[in-house]
Amino acid sequence: MREDSAEFEDGIILQEFRKGFTLGDRLLRPSMVKVSAGPGPAKPEQEAVVEEQVISEISEGSVDNEGSTETESA
């Protein structure tokens, strides 16, 4: 598995899920690991600002709608 990471450079093992084993020079079971893919693609500043605005509008809208209740009559 690979994961973007701002902390670690490309190729660094971040987490080991299953230990691997060798017998002499023979690989019996490979390890299962998560490896850093380096920093992810940088977002342009304008996109980041728009995303923050959308998230804040959504969260504000959900707070406004929590108190209202609607019932349908048949």
CB 37 within 8 A of CB 2: yes
What average pLDDT does this structure show over 14-22?
93
Total residues found in the chain within this entry: 74
Using alpha carbons, select from 1, 4, 68 the residue that is nearest to residue 41.
4
What tens digit of pLDDT does each residue of 21-41 get? Answer: 999 999 999 999 999 988 877
Given this model, what pLDDT does residue 5 score? 84
Whole-prediction pTM? 0.46
Q: How far apart are CA 74 and CA 67, in angstroms?
A: 23
Stronger pLDDT, 64 or 9, i.e. the higher one: 9
43 has a pLDDT exceeding 60: no
Given this model, what pLDDT does residue 69 score? 53
Q: How far apart are CA 58 and CA 44, in angstroms?
A: 22
Q: How far apart are CA 20 and CA 38, in angstroms?
A: 24
Given this model, what pLDDT does residue 6 score? 85
